[in-house]
Structure 1
Amino acid sequence: MHEMAICENIRVLIEEQARTQHFSRVERVCLEIGALSGVEVEALRFGFDVVMRGSVAADARLDIVETAGTAWCLPCAVTVTIGRRYDPCPRCGSHQIQVTGGEEMKIRELEVT
């Protein structure tokens, strides 16, 4: 389950920011996760609570904003929304598409005290 490793990395980033930005507690963590990122959101939620124990984010609320997968369809010459990598274009059915968004995962916002 690579979601635990992702949570560990999030904890490291938060603790680094706590030292440099001089905050002692995180109230809320908002993550942006793309539909094509390969992250299992429910596993990440479980891992977050476990990994954050004993850290400045121990009791933080986790909010996740899921973003759609997008791709450029070569035959249609438009950006389309896709649910999974390797899906065909929903307009023309072509597989000549190039993923342009939805692969990212980032910390969007921290509420701290």
Structure 2
Amino acid sequence: MHELSICMSLLDQVERIAKEHRAERVERILLRIGPLSGVEAPLLMNAYPLAAAGTIAEHAQLDIEPAPVRVQCLDCSAETEATPNRLLCASCGSYHTKLISGDEMLLASLEMSLPEDASETL
């Protein structure tokens, strides 16, 4: 299950950010995942508790929001939304498009508990 290794990499990044901010605990992790990323959100949710055990984010809420598939038309230059299985320009119908989003997995935000003295210096 490659979602477990993805969770472990995600938690490495989360722990680095939390350490930079001297966080006591991570409360919430928000990911943005596109349908063309190759990551299955339900499998990621199932793998998260295993990967997070014993980390600063062990009790964090993991939220996943879908990222839209967007293309840029090489014929009319329009940027439009598309469906994952039909990367057509919604403006002119051309199939000459370039994918501009929908294949990403992005750490969108973190909510952390900071010590009282750290919040004054940030």
TM-score category, normalised to shorter length: 0.7 to 0.9
CA RMSD of aligned residues (A): 1.8
> Following TM superposition, by how much is the alpha carbon of 1:71 offset from its aligned partner in structure 2, in angstroms?
0.6
Aligned length: 112
Check whether the contact 1:29–1:61 (CA below 8 A) recurs between aligned residues: yes
Check whether the contact 1:35–1:83 (CA below 8 A) recurs between aligned residues: no
| 1:63 alignment counterpart | 63
Q: Any unmatched runs of 5+ in structure 2? A: 114-122
1:75 aligns with 2:75: yes
| 2:84 alignment counterpart | 84
1:23 aligns with 2:23: yes
Q: Any unmatched runs of 5+ in structure 1? A: none
| 2:35 alignment counterpart | 35
Please say which structure displays the higher CA radius of gyration: 2
Query: If each structure's strand is expressed as a fraction of its own residues, which one has the higher value?
Result: 1
The CA distance in 2 between the partners of 1:100 and 1:10, in whole Å, is 23
> Following TM superposition, by how much is the alpha carbon of 1:93 offset from its aligned partner in structure 2, in angstroms?
4.6
**Deviating 4+ runs (over 6 angstroms):** none
> Following TM superposition, by how much is the alpha carbon of 1:100 offset from its aligned partner in structure 2, in angstroms?
1.0
Aligned positions of 1:38-49 closer than 5 A: 38-49=38-49
Q: Which amino acid aligns with 2:6?
A: I
Q: Give TM-score, length-normalised by structure 1.
A: 0.85
Q: Give TM-score, length-normalised by structure 2.
A: 0.80
